[in-house]
Amino acid sequence: MAARWWRRVLRGLCGAALFLSQLSVLSGRAGSLMTTKLSQPQSTLAKSLTSTSTNAPYFKAFESTEIPPYLTNCPSNGLCSRLPPDCMTCNTNYSCIYGKTATFDCKVKPHVHCVDENNHEQENFTINMTCQFCWQLATSDYVCTNSTNCMTVSCPRQRYNATCTVRDHIHCLGNRVFPKMLYCNWTGGYKWSTALALSITLGGFGADRFYLGQWREGLGKLFSFGGLGIWTLIDVLLIGVGYVGPADGSLYI
């Protein structure tokens, strides 16, 4: 009887242990299911962030389609050979003979439209130009900055550093913007004829020197009555030959 009772107790304990083990397995599956459900929105959010981040190249590509700044200087549907140099790209031929006419193969830049003599649109064309560098052009083919800080009336004549830019319709080799040493050639608006007339008529009172901005010399001539006439005659000669000029160092008109 005692043996049977112990067997029942052991069977009861085994059944309880089996029930507890199944309960723990079921609770573990439920937790994994909850974790999976919670992780799904995060993965969806990550995918949405990833998809939006891939739109960045699209916006960059859209921005790159903006109109280039050189198009403002490029006439539309004009002759390709008449385009400004900023509107084309040419193969430089450095083997040409200096001073001789040479042919260069050119191509229009993107978004530039031009035609040939038969009014046919083209991209590749040739132009003829003189074989020389831009800094070797004539002074009428480029525009330079002017300086008002140097004296035009001096011996030797002063020079200044200028920045020159080639005109649009001129083609040349090398850089179209270059430095160059130029003579001081600016003017302040003083007329040589007016200065000479004042020196002849009212030079004894220093009117010519006052007109040129030389106040000290003008006062000296005024109180000395033109150096008793001697200073007046000398100033007429000096202004006549252009040796005496404006006090600011500019040229006569």
Determine the average pLDDT of the residues in 12-29: 58
> Nearest CA to 159 among 123, 184, 142?
184
Predicted confidence at residue 39, as pLDDT, reads 44
**What is the domain count for the chain?**
3
Say if 232 falls within a structural domain.
Answer: yes
Q: Is residue 177 part of a domain?
A: yes
pLDDT tens string 100-122: 888 888 898 888 888 888 888 88
In a domain, 214, yes or no: yes
Among 131, 154, 170, identify where a domain stops: 131
What's the rounded mean pLDDT across residues 229-238?
92
Q: What pLDDT was estimated at residue 211?
A: 92
Domain range for 97 is 72-131
Which token pair is 56?
């960045």
Global pTM value: 0.50
For residue 17, CA distances in Å to 12, 25, 168, 176, 189 come to 9, 13, 98, 95, 116
Give the pLDDT confidence score for residue 177 in this predicted structure.
93
* CA dist., res. 72 & res. 81, Å (int): 18
Q: Tell whether 137 is covered by a domain.
A: no
